[in-house]
Amino acid sequence: MGAGKWILVAAACAASLGCDTKPIGPKPGAGGAGSGPRQEVDTARKETHNPAPLIDPMGSLQVYKGAKHDIQCPTNLRSIGACLLMYTTRTGEYPPPGAFFRKMLESGDITDFNICAIPRSNATRDEVQAQMGEKAYRVTMDKLNDSTSTEKPIVWDPVPFQDGRHVLLLSGTVVDVTEDAFQGMMAKWEGK
């Protein structure tokens, strides 16, 4: 398993355990050798050369900077894809350009506007509907219909994150692409 996958697994474990847990303290009889978590960090650094330890010297569970985004963003996009499927099944049409989130929120197909916001952005419902600033996902401004290619990007991160973006395709697939690949996708699909 690659280092990136280990980070995601550790982040998921940290999220399920709660990120504010602390160890009881140093091991009895450690004589200043530090806590068990501190020893784990030292061992992990020697064995893996991991610059972002999962446990800091104070013993707090730490999640590397992008783990929340790496986990929550694709989950949000998949949820948006599922809501779009419900909307199109129920209405027989796609949301109109420029009103993608607003129509699905009004219809009740998206029940929680927070899935339309970038993780940790604290966006308001109005910001999501208007796709204002960098807090809400961007949505295609093209009219969607049954002849639209399933490879067309329909929802994506508003700004690059760690030189890449998460993108929801019309097929319901979420892909993580580099910024260059994303710009190529936009040139190929958007406005066509």
Q: If the chain, 192 residues long, is cut into consecutive pieces of 10 residues, what is the mean pLDDT of each piece?
A: 58 53 46 51 52 49 58 91 94 92 92 87 84 85 92 92 89 94 92 74
Report the pLDDT value the prediction gives residue 3, as an integer from 0 to 100: 55
Q: How far apart are CA 34 and CA 58, in angstroms?
A: 9
pLDDT score of 167: 95
* Distance between CA atoms of residues 55 and 126, nearest Å: 38
pLDDT at 174: 95
Q: Tokens 């399920």 sit at which residue? A: 16
Q: Count CB neighbours of 159 within 10 A.
A: 11
Are 85 and 171 a contacting pair, CB within 8 Å?
no
Q: How far is Cα 170 from Cα 185, in angstroms, rounded to an integer?
A: 13
Helix axes 67-91, 100-107, angle to 10 degrees: 70
pLDDT at 24: 43
In this structure, the strands spanning 174-178 and 138-139 are: unpaired
pTM: 0.65
Separation between Cα atoms, residue 149 and residue 177, nearest integer Å: 18
Long-range contacts of 59-66 (CB under 8 A, 24+ apart): 59/22, 59/23, 59/35, 60/19, 60/20, 60/21, 60/22, 61/14, 61/17, 61/18, 61/19, 61/20, 61/21, 62/14, 62/19, 63/10, 63/11, 63/14, 63/15, 63/19, 64/7, 64/11, 66/161, 66/162
pLDDT for 162 equals 78
4-19 in b/e form (b: 16+ CB < 10 A) is eeebbebbeebeeeee
| SS3 category, 139 | strand
Written as one letter, the residue type at 135 is: K
**45 three-state secondary structure:** helix
In the prediction, which pLDDT does 39 show? 57
